[in-house]
Structure 1
Amino acid sequence: MRRSVQKKKKASDTFPCTIEELKKQLSSMLQDSPDLNFSTYTLGQKRIIVFYFTYQINKEQLHRSILDTLLASQDKTWDAKMIQNEVPLASSTLHDTLISVAKELIQGGVGIYVEEDEQPLTYYIPEQARRAVSRAENESLVLGPQIAFTESMVTNLNIIRWRLDTPELKTEKLIIGKEIPTEIRIVYLKNISNDDLVNTVRQRLEDLDVNDVMDSNVVAQLIEDRSTSIFPQLLTTELPDRFCNSIINGKVGIMVDKSPTVLITPATLFSFLESTEDIYFRWNIGTFLRIMRLVAMFLSILLTPAYVAALSFHVEVIPSSLLVSLGQSRANVPFPPVFEALLLELLIELLREAGARLPTKVGQTMGIVGGIVLGQAAVKAGFTSNILIIVVALSALASFTAPSYMMGGAIRVIRFPMIILSGLWGLLGIFLGLSFLIIHLLKVSSLGTPYLSPLYPFHFADLDNSIVRLPWSRSNRRPTVNETKKPVKFSQKEAKKKRDIDE
Structure 2
Amino acid sequence: MRPAKKNNGKSALPMSVDQLKNKVESLVINSQDLNYTTYQQNEKQIAVFYIPFLIDHTKLEESLLNPLLSMESDWSTDTILSGIPLASGKTTTKLEDTVNGLNKGEVFLYLEQDKQLITYKLSKSEKRALERAETEAIVIGPQLAFTESMQSNLNVISWRLNTPDLAREKIMVGERNPKEARIIYLKSVANETDVNTMRQRLNDLKVDMIEDIHMLKQYILDNSTSVFPQYVATELVDRATYAVKEGKIIVLVEGSPLAMVAPSTFFSFFESTEDRYFHWNLSSFILSLRFLAAFVTLMLTPMYVAATTFHYELIPSQLLMSIGQSRAAVPFPPILEVIIIELVIELLREAGARLPTKVGQTIGIVGGVVVGTAAVQAGITSNILIILVTLSALASFSTPNYVMGNTLRFVRFPLIIFASMYGIIGIMFGICLLVIHLVRLESLGRPYLTPLYPLRLADFNKVFFRLPEQKQGRRFLSYRLKDKHTYGKNKATVKKDNEK
Tell me whether 1:58 sits opposite 2:39 in the alignment. no
Q: 1:45 to 1:199 in 2, by over 3 A?
A: farther
Match of 2:94 in 1: 97
Choose the corresponding residue for 2:30, options 29, 32, 57.
32
Corresponding position of 1:251: 248
1:254 shift after superposition: 0.6
Change in 2 beyond 3 A, CA 1:82/1:487: farther
Residue 74 (structure 1) shift: 4.8
Q: Say whether the 8 Å CA contact 2:335–2:420 is kept in structure 1.
A: yes
**Partner in structure 2 of residue 333 of structure 1:** 330
Identify the residue that residue 3 of structure 1 maps to in structure 2.
Answer: none
CA RMSD of aligned residues (A): 1.5
CA contact (8 A) 1:192 1:250 kept: yes
Please point out which of 425, 431, 435 is paired with 1:434.
431
1:206 equivalent to 2:203? Answer: yes
Worse overlay, 481-490 or 444-453? 481-490
Q: Deviations over 1:35-90 (max 9, x none)?
A: 221111123543221111111111011111111111111541321x4422322122
Partner in structure 2 of residue 363 of structure 1: 360
Q: Which amino acid aligns with 2:98?
A: V
Q: For the Cα contact (< 8 Å) 1:186–1:202, is it kept in 2?
A: yes
2:398 paired residue among 398, 401, 425: 401
Asked if the contact 2:73/2:79 (under 8 Å) is kept, the reply is no
One-letter amino acid of the counterpart of residue 250, structure 2: G
Q: Which residue of 2 aligns with 1:469?
A: 466
Deviation at 1:465, TM superposition (A): 1.7
Shift of the alpha carbon at 1:374? 0.4
Query: Normalising by the residue count of structure 1, what TM-score does the alignment of the two structures yield?
Result: 0.95
Structure 2 counterparts to residues 11-410 of structure 1, below 5 A: 11-79=9-77, 81-410=78-407
Determine if contact 2:25/2:31 at 8 Å carries over to the other structure: yes
Alpha-carbon distance between aligned partners in 2 of 1:211 and 1:362, rounded to the nearest angstrom: 38
Number of equivalenced pairs: 494
Q: Secondary structure at the match of 2:339?
A: helix
Q: TM-score, normalised by structure 2?
A: 0.96
Which is further off, 40-49 or 443-452? 40-49
- 1:487 aligns with 484
Distance 1:485 1:12, change over 3 A: farther
CA distance in 1, matches of 2:410, 2:229: 13
- How far apart are the structure 2 equivalents of 1:178 and 1:15? 28
Deviation at 1:482, TM superposition (A): 2.3
| Aligned mates of 2:244, 2:13 — CA distance in 1 | 47
Contact 2:11 2:93 in 1 (8 A): no
- Counterpart CA distance in 2 for 1:82 and 1:461 is 67
Q: Cα distance 1:170–1:117, how it changes in 2: closer, same or farther (>3 A)?
A: farther
Change over 3 Å in CA distance of 1:462–1:13 after alignment to 2: same
Structure 2 CA distance for partners of 1:99 and 1:302, relative to 1, 3 Å: farther
When residues 115 and 10 of structure 1 are mapped into structure 2, their CA distance, relative to the original with a 3 A threshold, is farther
Please state how far the C-alpha of 1:129 moved relative to its aligned partner.
Answer: 1.7
- For residues 30 and 501 of structure 1, the distance between their equivalents in structure 2, rounded to whole angstroms, comes to 75
Q: Judging changes above 3 Å, is the alpha-carbon distance between structure 1 residues 52 and 489 closer, same or farther for their aligned structure 2 residues?
A: same
The SS at the match of 2:412 is helix
Q: 3-state SS of the aligned residue for 1:367?
A: helix
CA offsets per residue over residues 250-307 of structure 1, 9 Å max, x none? 1111101111111000000000000000001111111111111111111101110000
For 2:490 and 2:82, the matched residues in 1 are separated by: 58
Question: Counterpart amino acid of 1:76?
Answer: D
Q: Which amino acid aligns with 1:65?
A: S
Q: State the Cα distance separating 1:397 from its structure 2 match.
A: 1.1
Percent of paired sites with the same residue: 47
Q: Distance in 2 between matches of 1:286 and 1:93?
A: 56
Aligned to 1:424: 421
Give the drift of 1:126.
2.0
C-alpha contact 2:232 2:261 (8 A) present in aligned 1: yes
Q: Secondary structure at the match of 2:495?
A: coil
- The 8 Å contact of residues 341 and 388 in structure 1, kept in 2 or not, is answered as yes
- Residues 199-222 of structure 1 show CA distances to partners (whole Å, capped at 9, x for unaligned) of 111110111110111110000010
Instruction: Determine if contact 1:95/1:101 at 8 Å carries over to the other structure.
Output: no
- Specify the code of the residue in structure 1 equivalent to 2:36: F
> What is the DSSP-based 3-state SS (H/G/I as helix, E as strand, rest coil) of the residue aligned with 1:497?
coil
Task: Please give the alpha-carbon distance, in whole angstroms, between the structure 2 residues aligned to 1:96 and 1:476.
Answer: 58
- The alpha-carbon deviation at position 12 of structure 1 amounts to 4.1
Confirm or deny: 8 A CA contact 1:193 1:250 kept in the other structure.
Answer: yes
Supply the AA of the counterpart residue of 2:231: L
CA distance in 2, matches of 1:30, 1:483: 52
Instruction: Kindly indicate whether the alpha-carbon contact (under 8 Å) linking 1:44 and 1:74 is maintained by their aligned counterparts in 2.
Output: no
Q: Distance in 1 between matches of 2:136 and 2:446?
A: 25
Structure 1 residues 131, 435: CA separation in 2 closer, same or farther (over 3 Å shift)? Answer: same
Deviation of 1:459 (Å):
1.3
Query: 2:143 touches 2:238 (CA, 8 Å); kept in 1?
Result: no
